[in-house]
A and B are shown apart, each in its own frame.
Chain A
């Protein structure tokens, strides 16, 4: 059987097709295909070229719509059994300076500034430390405080006891994992 392929139209036609961000997002939200050419597989589903998909995903990373492409590790399964949220009351004029030092520690996995909710809640800086056990987390924390002379900043440590729910949330019917 003789098949004639018109290479020019096969190559050109998909490039002209437009596809929306949300269509692409809906295809990749649960994960990238585990095949040698994942972007080609996505492109076939969209009816566009691999190059278009690569360009669009690169743009999404550049503009920050995609924060990161890679893996999400289940820290508990990796042996990080202690998950502590450490909350600090840092004077407003020092909070950025302190946070910039804090975020550099390899064991600090999140660092956010949040509003105080006075009088019940005086803390304005939150960081997360994951460790193998509670003692390990406390000793990392105490070293960090001593090295930086943060003894005067009030803080509290909130270890997790139970996880009731952990999943991505639906936003515009897009499952998003953060």
Chain B
């Protein structure tokens, strides 16, 4: 990754224009041509440095909801429990963390679906308690990562 790629990443994290020639707006500022910018973004996606280029939706406003759920699972039972959790299509992320509460996953639900039903199922299947920690307030942070 060169300096131009880093500039592109830092620039695009703050947003992408909504107008007829959005790439031209950015390429001009970075001293590139429109097609150079487009092919560099494509390359960053191909290399896996970017996972996506497009809109990030607000799940709640689309009608769904999501929550963070924690569990305490003995290390010896981790594989079995994570396999069960990950089977559920509503589970978006699942991380093992270095703590007594060692499993942390995010669930996203369609409108009208009950989180409690899903969590009861997971508790029945795994034999461990779930700790539901839905977001109560979100504090807006600015730009994410410096490339």
Listed in ascending order, the chain A residues whose CB lies under 8 Å from chain B are 25, 28-32, 34-40, 50, 54, 57-58, 60-61, 63-75, 77-78, 80, 83, 85, 96, 99-100, 102-103, 106, 108-115, 117, 120-121, 126, 130, 156, 158-172, 174, 176-178
Contacts and interface: CB of A to CB of B under 8 A. Distances in A.
Interface bracket on B? 35 or more
Interface string B77-107: 0000010011001111111111101101111
Most chain B CB within 10 A, of A36, A114, A130, A169, is at A169
Given A31-B52, A114-B133, A161-B96, A172 B110 contact: yes
Contact of A174 (B21, B57, B66, B101): B57
B9 to A, nearest CB: 6
Given A77-B48, A99-B139, A170-B108, A71 B13 contact: yes
A36 B59 contact: no
Contacts of A74: 48-51
Interface in B5-31: 9, 12-16, 18-24
Given A68-B55, A176-B57, A121 B62 contact: no
Contact of A111 (B34, B49, B66, B141): B141
Nearest to B15: A70
Interface string B116-138: 00000000000000011111111
B54 A28 contact: yes
A115 B53 contact: no
Contacts of A99: 137, 139
Contacts of A100: 139
B104 A85 contact: yes
A109 B133 contact: no
A166 B136 CA distance: 23
Contacts of B110: 170-172
21 contacts: A25-B57, A32-B55, A37-B21, A66-B57, A69-B15, A70-B15, A70-B56, A78-B147, A117-B133, A121-B133, A161-B98, A161-B102, A163-B95, A165-B86, A170-B89, A171-B111, A172-B62, A172-B64, A176-B108, A178-B57, A178-B59
A95 to B, nearest CB: 8
A50 B20 contact: yes
Contact of A121 (B35, B107, B131, B135): B131
A29 B57 contact: yes
Nearest to B8: A71
